[in-house]
Amino acid sequence: MSNLILDFQEIDKTQITAAGGKGANLGELSRMEGIHVPEGFCITTEAYHRVLRETTSAGELLEQLASLKQGDWEQIGALSAKIRIAIEDAGIPEDIQEEILRTLSRFGPNHAYAVRSSATAEDLPTASFAGQQDTYLNLVGIESILKHISKCWASLFTERAVTYRIQNCFDHRTVQLAVIVQKMVCPESSGILFTVDPVTSNRTIVSIDAGFGLGEAMVSGIVSADLYQVRDGNVIEKKISSKKRAISAMEKGGTKEYDLEPELQNQQVLTEPQILELANLGRRIEAYFGCPQDIEWCLADGTFSILQSRPITTLYPIPEANDQEKHVYVSVGHQQMMTDPLRPLGMSVFEMTSFGTRFRAGGRLFVDVAPMLAASESRGALLQAMGQHDPLIKDALITLIDRGDFIKPLADTESKPGNKATAERKTGNMGTSGVFQSQLESDPEIVSVLIRRSRESIEMLSRTIREKSGTALFDFIRDDIQKLKNALFEPQSMDVIMAASNAASWINEKMKEWLGEKNAADVLSQSVPNNITSEMGLGLLDLADTLRPYPEVIQYLQHGNRDLFYDELLKYKGGYEVREAICNYLDQYGMRCAGEIDITRTRWSEKPELLLSMMLNNLKNFTSGESKRRFERGLREALEKEKELIDRLKLLPGGYQKVEETKRAIDLLRTFTGYREYPKFEIVQRYFIYKKALLKEAERLLELGVITEIEDIYYLTFEEFGEAVRTEKLDRSVIPQRKEEFKHFERLTPPRVMTSDGEIITGSYHQKDLPAGAIPGLAVSSGVAEGRARVILKMEDANLEADDILVTSFTDPSWTPLFVNVKALITEVGGLMTHGAVIAREYGLPAVVGVEDAVKLIRDGQRIRVNGTEGYVMVISDDK
């Protein structure tokens, strides 16, 4: 055959550019022994390219389409429709028609055929594009087949296909379309097989949907399918649905919908032997392609036919452990409040900074907690820690323990497998029963000494690293990271952090027990000293005050070139003063940025315009002196709350003792809580110093032609980067490969907890008596607030007003400057002691975190209520 037509037997996985993803997979399936694929052929992308090249108007429209972005819905719809019309009107060139007719004569032109699209950006390992282009069933006659081949080409430009490509960053101009023409099978039954459980992602389970007639009945939603699940050669679940309707092929072409006979409506579609046979076929196909598959099948005359097999691209990859043991992986990102993927350099540096073994998957890090869950002496401490970081992680782990089918507790006398009450009992807050205990006194000098040591260490690092280059620099950074780890876990530093955390827990428990006061520590935590993160937010308010006297500067910042604003300030009256103030701010906090645990992220000092929106928000929303007023108000409220609690305690039996204990706990809380933010600040400071030194090495590699752009080094691990510096050589093919891989990772949603079977374990809050329609979460900062929801995914995009409530996926310390502009905070990730929660309490903002899918459930502009005392969110209205 020519390069325009390929028989399935001529196609393999290397020919995606000619046959598209579906065609390549069908070619591979046709080669498998014992797998029946209906006969057919592929009209290659060369034919589509010819049609597009010879249809001038389509090419011009395609160029216009390529310039559109998400949100340009009207233009997308209009241009897509015009391109489809142009392609269908152009028809099929005569020489291509002749080749199609010759091929059909060999297969049998009077047979019924299915005509399916097969795009080059389809059924790929990282993007399935499932259902984005069209399929036409039971076509009879040459004219009908040719007409629908053109329709298939045109379907590359349906609105859904165009939008999907924009979302997945595929260029419309580079995506090509092949067309599959395949003999039609008229089955008794058909359906979909997943070689994993599509709900839990458990890789040990095969899941089968089955219905009578053509699978189109299930796709179109007119019938519920039977569900069968198979594990280790056994049917472990069967759900037989009521199936009143079905779709079948008509003799003269096309399909029809009809009522099933009453005796079939509740009948099991497949017998148990058929279920096991089909599951075995699925496992064979999965093994052949080397990854989980989504398979279309049908059954006719006792034979299963495979119509399509594509990779399941939405699955989160399982961390590699290289053993056969059972593992329970917990997301490090959910604990660090940064669930975005890390680039390879960022990943490897963060791993070096971490303790214990970390497992990589999907550009994120996980830790295996299976050994700790199995041992009763460590299980309680683990669950308590997870509860502080993210209660949904804790509940997911308890659920897994309670099931008793994956984690087998080691023999002990304290607990029994599956005893959820025991697991929960072990997670009570340390130090909260009886008299609060701490060996530390509330001496602020302890914190001052720790901060001074950190600053001296940073100054020494800045001086010393300037002398290092080449491989000596990499050795130096390795050694310094070890010193950093020792400093972070220095006993006195850890004691200070734990004393503050335990004091807060003690206050909350005892005030609830003695006074019925819920979350009393929240108000007491406002405006504490030595909190570097909250000081950063207040400092940006002071920066706005520097701007106020200079209207020319303000006008320029509002309307000028954002990318050049820092350099052009000096042209305007007051520009020198403003630039100096910004420079001072960056000297203190310029090493911060969103996602700062990834050393490759752009820091504020590297791109000062990242601060511009926050500066202008502060200018718009506040008057001069807001920083001082806000701190003093928080301090006043904290002291008033302390006095109120003490006065009430005095009236209780044993009041004197209760007052003494409470005063001591409050002193510890207020003296030590602020320091909790400092160790993270030291990490980020060191990261920026490392980064600046490493970028100098990258510049040398660029000069030598080893890399093509500076940021290429972000896609190398620390060790690979060091080796490239040593040898002045690099396999450059690895860079584009990792860039594409990173784009794929960005589209994945990391699970909080997953097992080595790939099963994603989810948790819940188990809250009672919530109002109807409430969206549950974790209460981390008391109070109730109503306002306009502002759903913000990038900090630099924030345009906030005083009545707004910030809704986002996660916040790390760099988001703190936004907190001064909002009435309340909602995040999808977080726990009681994560940064967003700590700062929300200090600023007195009601906050609910761990609200799953918050950025999807809450729309920008809706009027919402945040209850930071009970832990839920209510949508009040859609009014903006």
Both tokens of 733, joined, read 């093919």
Q: What are phi and psi of 774, to 5 degrees?
A: -70, 140
| Interstrand relation of 804-808 and 872-877 (parallel, antiparallel or unpaired) | unpaired
Both tokens of 345, joined, read 């350099």
Q: What are phi and psi of 779, to 5 degrees?
A: -75, 120
Q: What are phi and psi of 28, to 5 degrees?
A: -65, -45
Among 113, 112, 104, which Cα is nearest to 135's?
Answer: 113
CB 813 within 8 A of CB 592: yes
Residue tagged 């984005």 (tokens): 132
E-state strands within 410-521: none
Residues ≥6 apart with Cβ < 8 Å to 647: none
Residue tagged 């969110």 (tokens): 873
Residues ≥6 apart with Cβ < 8 Å to 621: 800, 801, 802, 821
* C-alpha neighbours within 13 Å on the C-beta side of residue 339: 22
DSSP letter assigned to residue 133 = S
Q: Say which amino acid occupies 496.
A: V
CA distance 383 to 407: 14
CB 295 within 8 A of CB 285: yes
With 0-12 / 13-18 / 19 or more C-beta atoms within 10 angstroms meaning exposed / middle / buried, residue 232 is exposed
Both tokens of 570, joined, read 């000096």
Q: What are phi and psi of 62, to 5 degrees?
A: -65, -40
- Give catalytic status of residue 744 as yes or no: no
Both tokens of 671, joined, read 């003296």
CA distance 535 to 520: 23
CA 471 to chain centre: 35
Both tokens of 118, joined, read 């097969």
With 0-12 / 13-18 / 19 or more C-beta atoms within 10 angstroms meaning exposed / middle / buried, residue 709 is exposed
Residues ≥6 apart with Cβ < 8 Å to 98: none
Among 220, 202, 218, which Cα is nearest to 210's?
Answer: 218
* C-alpha neighbours within 13 Å on the C-beta side of residue 149: 30
Residues ≥6 apart with Cβ < 8 Å to 339: 331, 333, 364, 749, 750, 809, 810, 829
Residue tagged 């089968």 (tokens): 208
Both tokens of 168, joined, read 């997945």
CA distance 428 to 28: 56
What sign has the CA pseudo-torsion 200, 201, 203, 209? Answer: positive
Active-site position among 172, 327, 744, 835: 835
* C-alpha neighbours within 13 Å on the C-beta side of residue 276: 8
Please identify every residue annotated as catalytic.
Answer: 835
